[in-house]
Structure 1
Amino acid sequence: MQKIFLAAGTTLLLIATGCNKSLLETTPNDRYQESTYWNTPDAAAAGLVGCYSVLRNDGLYGGKGSNNATALWDETLSPNAWNYSNSHSFDAVAMGQHNASTGGIVTGRWGDSYGGIGRCNTFLAKIDEVPGMEAADITRMKGEAYFLRALYYFTLATYYGDAPLILTPPDEKKDSDLPRTPRKDVIAQVLSDLESAISGLPPKATEPGRASKGAALALKARVLLYEASPLMNNGVNDPAKWKAAADAAKAVITDANVFGYKLYRDYRAMFLPQNENNSEVIFDVQYIFPLQGNSFDLICRQYNTNAPLQDLVDAYLMKNGLPRTAPGSGYDPAKQWTNRDPRMHATLTFPGDKYMGKVVANNRFSFTGYGMKKFSIYDTAAPPKAVESLVGGQSETNFIVLRYADILLMYAEAQNEAAGPDATVYTALDSIRSRAGMPLITPGLTQAQMRDVIRLERRIELAGEGLYYNDIRRWKTAETVMNTDIYNYKRERQATRSFDPKRDYWWPIPTGERDLNPNLEQNPFY
C-alpha cells in the first residue's frame, strides 16, 4: 500500500509547528501564525495536505474517531441498507424524521464542506506568495486545490441546494451574514474550478490519493450527470444536458489509456487493501494506520450499522441474467442466495455463507441477517489473530470516491437519455457485466427498457459505495422506493420508512448555522 503523501504531510505539519530558529524567537512556536506560515515550499505542501485531510472528517467520508464509517453509512440512506442505531442521525434521515435540529450528518456535512472550502480558499490565495516554489509545482498544486474545492461545493449543492458561495479566505466579518447563493451559480463555479483543475493537473496523480486530470474530468462527468437528471430539471428531459454529461464521461473513456484507467480484473479484490490504487481507482480517500485510520472493518464485522436489506438482495439478478421472479429464472425461495449475480456474494454475507472462517448463523448479523463485505478485509477465510482483534480506528482500507466502472455507467445513462441505446451504450454496460461474470445485455431494447437496465446495473455494481441514495434522489424515484417497509432475510418487517417528496429531496440548513446567520433562508417545509 502506497500512502506516501498522507504520512509525509503529517510530518510536514509537525515540522511547521515545531521548528525554532533561535532561543530568542518571540513568535509562538506552539501554533500556526498566518503571517509567517506561508514562507517555504514545505509549508505550502503541508497546507495542501490540510485541504485533503478534511475529506476524512465525520461529515464527509469519515474515519476520524472510533466506530466511525460515514462513507459506508451513506448507503443506509437508501433502500440498500439500514443504520438501525441511528449513528450520526443517518437513520433519522432515512426514516424521514430529520429536521433542521437533527444534528449528526445533517449538520456535519454542511460544516465540514465549508471547512474544506475555507482551507482551499486560503491555499489558493497564498500559494503564489510562497518563496522558492517552482512554477510547475504551483500550477499542479493549484489544480489539486481547485479539484477539492469543486468536490466540497458539489457536496453542498447535492444535499442542500443553494449555499453561500465564498471564494476568499475565511473572514468572519465578511462571511457571517452572506445569503445562500442559487444552486445553479454554485454549480457554475464547480464547473469553472474543474476546468482550472483539468488545465493544471497532470494526466496521472503524482502520488496515490492526489487529484489528477483524469479525476477532474471524472468529477465533471458526475456533476453534469446530476445536472441533467430529473430532480435538477423539474422532471423535464433536456437532451442537450444529457449530451454534455455523455461527452464528459466519454472524455475519460477516450483517454483511459493515457490516465491508466481500466476495469480491475477482480470485483471483490478491488476493495481490499492489498489492491488499493489499482487501475480502476480514479480518486479515493486515503487512510493509513495509525495516523488516519477508519472503522470500516469493525462496522462491517460487528456493529452491523451498515446492515444490507432484503430489498437489495431481491434486486440481484440470477446468474443467467433473469430477474428472480421471471419465468425460467431458476429461483428457489428455499435457496434464495444460490445462482445469483456473483457480485452479491462479493458484496454481502448471509446466513449459511462462510465468513471469517465460520458458517454464518441466522443471528450472526442481527436485525437483517446480512453483513457487508465491501470495503472490509473480512471474507470467507479466518483472519489472522492480529487482524481479528482490531478495534475501532485501526482499519486503513481507502474509500473509493470515483472509479472507472462508474464512468462507464455514467456514459451509458447519459448517452441513452441523449440519443437512445446505441452500440456504445451496450459496449459500456457489457464490459462491466463481463467482468462480473454475467450475461451481456439483451439487444434491441427501447430507451425506456435500457433506462431500467442501467438503473439496476448502477444499483448492483455500486452497492455499498454510498451512491444509490443520490441516484434515487436525482431520478426522483425516492418518493416511491423509500416510502416502504424494510425487511430482514426472513422477510419479516423491521421498520417503516417515510419520504416526503415536498421536502425530503433536499436537506435542511442546520439550525445552528441559521442562528449564526439569519440570512440563510431555510429549505421548504423545514
Structure 2
Amino acid sequence: MKSLFSLVIITALLGLGGCSHDLLDKAPVDRITDEAVWSDPALVQTFVNSKYRDLGFGFNWNGDELLWASASDESLFSHDYGMWAINKSEITPSNLAILGSGPTEYNGNMNPWSKNYRYIRDANQFFDRIGTVPMDSAQRRQLTGEMTFLRAFRYFDLVRNYGGVPLLTQRFTLGDDYTQVKRASLSESIGFVVSEADKAAALLPATYTGADVGRATKGAALALKARMLLYAASPLYAGTNDITRWQTAAQAARAVMELNVYQLYPSYQQLFLTPNNSEVIFNRQASQQGDSFQNLERWNGPNGYGGWGGNVPTQNLVDDYETMDGLSITAAGSGYDSQNPYANRDPRLAATILYNGASYRGRAVETFRPGGLDSPDGPESFNTSPTGYYLRKFMNETRDFGSASGSQAPWIYFRLGEIMLNYAEAQNEAVGPDASVYSALNQLRARVSMPPLRAGLTQAQMRERIRRERQIELAFEEHRYYDVRRWKIAPTTENLPIRRASITKDGLGKLRYEYPSVQERRFSDRNYFLPIPLKETQANPALVQNPGY
C-alpha cells in the first residue's frame, strides 16, 4: 500500500531545505506518492525538514496553550483542559485527560505514546528507503545523522514518560502482525537511546552556516546522550547508587562542554527570546517552521493587559528563589520580609515571574485587592491568575497581545546551561563537590549577579544546592516534572498543596500579604511513569501496562 504525504505540509516546509522544485509537476495537486518522494533528493530533504516541524514543542501542549510546567509544582494551569487530572493523580489508561486528545496536526505534544510512535514510524520509513535515493553521499550522511538524532530524541521522550518501551527500528505496514511486540527493558531502552545518539554524533557536523543553522548537530546528539545518561544514573532509573553510572554521565556532559562551540548567553532573560544564540545547542524557531498561530503573551499574560492568565507560577516556586546574599528565605540573616517579599531576590525571579509591583508594559502589575487591575477586580476576572503570579519567561514585551502573527520565541530543547547543571550533578555524585562542580554552578550564578556558593559544602549539601539551582535556572523548561521523579522526591514535592499570594490593600494603601493554599495536589507511586493508553494494550496483548494502572 502506497504512503501519501500531504502537499500542504510539504509546500510549507520546502523553504527550510532550500528546495525550489515545482511539486505540481511531481504528483496530483493534493498528494505525492512514495515513489515520487524517494526518487527525488529534494523531496527527501523536505521529508526530513518535516520531521523538525513534527517535533513537539513546549509552548503548545496538545495543540493548546498548556505548558508541561503546569503538571509540576512550578505552575498551575488556570483553565484546566484536563491538566488537573494529572495534578490530582486521576489519569488512567482509559482516561488520559489532557493527554488523550487527538491532534489535527503534529503541533502540540499530545499523548507521548501515540505521537512518538507515529513519528518513529515515519523515521523508520526514511531508514528503509534512504539507501536507494539517488543523492550525493555527503547529503545522505547528513540526513541520516539528522534522522538518527531525531528518532533517538523521540525514544528518549518515551523512556522518560513510560520507562522501558518497544524498540521498533523497522516500519510496520498494513497487514503486518504487531501483536507480539514487547517492551524492551529499561536498561535496553536507555542503551538504545545512547547508542543512537553516538551514531548521530559521528555523522553530524559541529556547526552549520546560512539556512542550515538550526538543524541537529554533533552537540545536539551528545547533549541528548548526556541527558539520557544523567537519567540512567538517577535513583528512579538506577535503583541503587551506582558510581560508575554517574561517572559516565559526567563524562558525557563534559564532552558537550569540551566541544567549545557554546557559551553562556550574557542575558538570562533575552536568552529565551533570541534564536540560535551562543548558548543554544538545539532549538525550534516558530517563525522559520510554519507553526500555526500561537500567542504566548496573550495566553499567559495578566488579565489587566488583555491576557488569559493561563500557566501561572506558584508560591511554592517563588519561595525557592534565594535572596541576593545567596541564602534561602528561611535562613537566618537572609533579610527576607514576607510583607515585602520580592525585594533583594535572585534576579531570575524577576526575569521569570510577574508579581505584584513588577514593572511590565509601561505600568506596575497589580494583583492586590480591592481594585488591582490584574486581580479578580480587573477586566475578565475569569482570566485572573489563581496564584497571584503571571509568567514572564519567554514573553516578548514588545509584541501586541492581539498580534495576528503570534509569538516567535524559540523553544529550546538543549542549552549549555542545562548541560553544565547535568555535569555538576553527575560529577558531585561521582566524586563529590570538586572544583569543577563549583565552577559550573558559579558561572551560572555569576551571569545573574548571584554570589558564588560557599566553600566547604559536603556532597549532600551540594546535592541540595544543585537541585535548587536546577529548579531556578531551568524553570518552565520541562525539567522539573522529570527531575522530581528521577530523584524520587515527587512524593514530597508533588503532594504539597499549591499556594498563592493573597494581597490586600487597606484604605491607607498599605499591602498585607498572606500565602494560603489554592489547589491540592496528589502523587502516588504509579505516577512516576504515565499509563500506556488502553487502546494500545487492547490491540497488543504482549504490551504490559505500567504498575499501578
With normalisation by structure 1, the TM-score equals 0.89
In the alignment, the residues of structure 2 paired with residue 418 and residue 64 of structure 1 have an alpha-carbon distance, to the nearest angstrom, of 36
Residues 269-288 of structure 1: matches in 2 within 5 Å?
A: 269-272=270-273, 275-288=274-287
The answer for the alignment partner of 1:389 in structure 2 is: 402
Change (3 A) 1:154 1:11: closer
Q: Secondary structure at the match of 2:484?
A: helix
Cα-to-partner distance string for 1:315-357 (whole Å, 9 max, x where unaligned): 0000111111111111111110111000000000011212222
Residues 1-400 of structure 1: matches in 2 within 5 Å?
A: 9=14, 18-20=23-25, 28-56=28-56, 61=58, 63=60, 68-70=64-66, 73-87=67-81, 89-107=82-100, 108-131=111-134, 133-174=135-176, 176-177=178-179, 178-206=181-209, 207-234=212-239, 236-256=240-260, 259=261, 261-272=262-273, 275-288=274-287, 291-293=290-292, 294-301=294-301, 302-362=307-367, 364=374, 365-378=384-397, 383=398, 387-390=400-403, 394-400=406-412
Give the alignment's Cα RMSD to 1 decimal.
Answer: 2.3
Is residue 295–residue 407 contact of structure 2 (8 Å, CA) maintained in 1? yes
* Deviation of 1:172 (Å): 4.0
Residues 502-513 of structure 1: matches in 2 within 5 Å?
A: 503-513=526-536
Change (3 A) 1:295 1:163: farther
The answer for the alignment partner of 1:461 in structure 2 is: 473
In the alignment, the residues of structure 2 paired with residue 322 and residue 442 of structure 1 have an alpha-carbon distance, to the nearest angstrom, of 10
- Residue among 476, 479, 496 paired with 2:520: 496
Residue type matched to 2:147 in 1? A
Change (3 A) 1:186 1:9: farther
In the alignment, the residues of structure 2 paired with residue 303 and residue 185 of structure 1 have an alpha-carbon distance, to the nearest angstrom, of 44
Residue type matched to 1:174 in 2? D
In the alignment, the residues of structure 2 paired with residue 77 and residue 8 of structure 1 have an alpha-carbon distance, to the nearest angstrom, of 32
Residue type matched to 2:279 in 1? E
Stretches of structure 1 lacking an aligned partner (at least 5 in a row)? 22-26
The answer for the alignment partner of 1:421 in structure 2 is: 433
* Deviation of 1:76 (Å): 1.1
In the alignment, the residues of structure 1 paired with residue 32 and residue 330 of structure 2 have an alpha-carbon distance, to the nearest angstrom, of 62
Q: Which has the higher contact order (CA 8 A, sep 6+)?
A: 1
Stretches of structure 2 lacking an aligned partner (at least 5 in a row)? 1-9, 101-110, 302-306, 375-383, 503-514
Residue type matched to 2:420 in 1? L
In the alignment, the residues of structure 2 paired with residue 78 and residue 281 of structure 1 have an alpha-carbon distance, to the nearest angstrom, of 24
Is residue 348–residue 371 contact of structure 1 (8 Å, CA) maintained in 2? yes
Higher helix share: 1
In the alignment, the residues of structure 2 paired with residue 333 and residue 11 of structure 1 have an alpha-carbon distance, to the nearest angstrom, of 51
* Deviation of 1:15 (Å): 7.2
Is residue 354–residue 360 contact of structure 1 (8 Å, CA) maintained in 2? yes
* Deviation of 1:170 (Å): 3.5
Which range moved further: 296-305 or 77-86? 296-305
* Deviation of 1:32 (Å): 2.5
Change (3 A) 1:95 1:376: same
Change (3 A) 1:359 1:121: same
Q: Secondary structure at the match of 1:504?
A: helix
Equivalent residue pairs, number: 495
Is residue 72–residue 494 contact of structure 2 (8 Å, CA) maintained in 1? yes
Change (3 A) 1:435 1:389: same
Which range moved further: 285-294 or 347-356? 285-294
Cα-to-partner distance string for 1:458-499 (whole Å, 9 max, x where unaligned): 000001111111000000000111111111112121111000
Change (3 A) 1:16 1:99: farther
